């Protein structure tokens, strides 16, 4: 039943978007259905959710789940004997509040945003609970950054850090972001990234040279162990597949930016958001050499994808031409479709989430 409702609302939102219409009622109903899907996820077996559930009920300290914000939130509800399924629903509601904040502030088309999120990101969030919260908070932080409130951005990223420490890798973007379209610092970052990619290839795509390169600088055994942990494995040539995601993202935001420049009545603050998201996509180039060692760094490309979705939903209400009459739109649709298809090919096990929903209030 829940699967049918999800698919039905997916196509209803698609119909509205194609016909350039919007309905807050449909968007609200769709979000409620996603809430039940999220809270009804009882997947077991080889899944991060299994460890989240175990940590929730047993209140055990964990190297993996030691983020203070998440631990406090989980323990708060666990000690009150709230079921894990209800806790998942709370996670979704909290994250949704942050997403709704930025969607409302930027006057996004809610139907398009829900449609885009439902392609794959929503299913990704079913597994990565902590990152889902951190990602949602980071979206708001980026909103403040694009409105020239850098201190709010830093504070927002610090809050997100308490839910997933890895989000801190996005914090340096504050030093690279510029309100000017041409950004020499970003260009320098691209050059450094290309250099590191070449170095990785010359060293057989192994990370041992990083220990020798950076170890003496910091003179810390714990830092060496951390570098080894995150870069200890090589993806061989598999990293090329993950580079495709980056390319799809760049194609998407490039054409979003191209469209935005031709919208006469698009407010200046929204043009700045488009420019900022474009720079964030370029900033992700620094993660490409790291993906060669560990595909975990792919999560930053996923975050940037959500920014692209928000950006597209933001400019959508200002568009007049239909999809078929604008080549930029067609390229964006093809790029997002390519990203989605590649995602489901690479993440086949995510399809099991629907199996996890067999036992819930809808059956």
Spacing of C-alpha 275 from chain mean position: 18
> Does residue 348 form part of some domain?
yes
pLDDT at position 362 is: 42
pLDDT tens digits along 239-253? 788 889 999 999 999
Confirm whether 88 is domain-assigned.
Answer: yes
The answer as to whether 32 is a domain residue is: yes
The parts of the chain modelled with pLDDT lower than 70 are 44-46, 59-65, 181-182, 204-237, 321-325, 347-363
Closest CA to 243 of 290, 198, 211: 290
Q: What is the pLDDT of residue 296?
A: 83
360 part of a folded domain: no
pLDDT of residue 188: 87
DSSP state string for 277-336: HHHHHHHGGGGHHHHTT-GGGGHHHHHHHHHHHHHHHHHGGG--S-GGG-HHHHHHHHHH
Specify the pTM. 0.87
In a domain, 213, yes or no: yes
Total domains present in the chain: 1
Domain of 232 in residue numbering reads as 2-355
Q: Is the residue at 362 inside a domain?
A: no
Query: Is 361 part of a structural domain of the chain?
Result: no
Per-residue model confidence (pLDDT) at position 39: 86
């Amino acid at each position: 039943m829940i699967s049918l409702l999800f698919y039905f609302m997916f196509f209803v939102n698609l119909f509205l978007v194609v016909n350039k219409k919007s309905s807050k009622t449909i968007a609200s109903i769709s979000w409620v259905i996603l809430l039940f899907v999220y809270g009804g996820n009882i997947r077991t077996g080889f899944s991060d959710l299994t460890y989240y559930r175990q940590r929730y009920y047993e209140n055990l300290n964990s190297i993996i789940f030691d983020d203070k914000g998440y631990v406090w939130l989980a323990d708060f509800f666990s000690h009150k004997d709230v079921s894990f399924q209800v806790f998942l629903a709370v996670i979704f509601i909290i994250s949704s509040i942050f997403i709704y904040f930025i969607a409302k502030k930027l006057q996004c088309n809610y139907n398009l945003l829900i449609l885009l999120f439902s392609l794959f990101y929503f299913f990704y969030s079913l597994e990565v609970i902590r990152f889902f919260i951190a990602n949602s908070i980071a979206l708001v932080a980026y909103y403040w950054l694009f409105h020239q409130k850098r201190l709010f951005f830093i504070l927002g990223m610090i809050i997100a850090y308490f839910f997933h420490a890895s989000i801190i890798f996005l914090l340096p973007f504050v030093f690279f972001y510029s309100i000017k379209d041409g950004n020499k610092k970003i260009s320098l970052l691209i050059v450094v990234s290309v250099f590191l990619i070449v170095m990785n290839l010359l060293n057989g795509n192994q990370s041992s040279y990083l220990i020798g390169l950076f170890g003496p600088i910091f003179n810390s055994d714990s830092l060496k162990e951390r570098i080894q942990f995150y870069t200890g494995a090589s993806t061989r040539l598999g990293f090329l597949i993950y580079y495709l995601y980056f390319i799809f993202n760049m194609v998407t935001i490039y054409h979003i930016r191209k469209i935005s420049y031709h919208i006469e009545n698009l407010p200046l603050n929204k043009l700045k958001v488009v420019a900022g998201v474009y720079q964030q996509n370029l900033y992700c180039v620094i993660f490409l050499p790291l993906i060669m060692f560990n595909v975990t760094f792919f999560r930053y490309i996923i975050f940037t994808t959500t920014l692209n979705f928000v950006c597209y939903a933001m400019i959508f209400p200002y568009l007049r031409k239909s999809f078929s009459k604008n080549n930029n739109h067609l390229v964006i649709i093809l790029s997002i479709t390519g990203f989605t298809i590649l995602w489901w090919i690479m993440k086949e096990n995510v399809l099991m989430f629907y199996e996890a929903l067999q036992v819930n209030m809808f059956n």
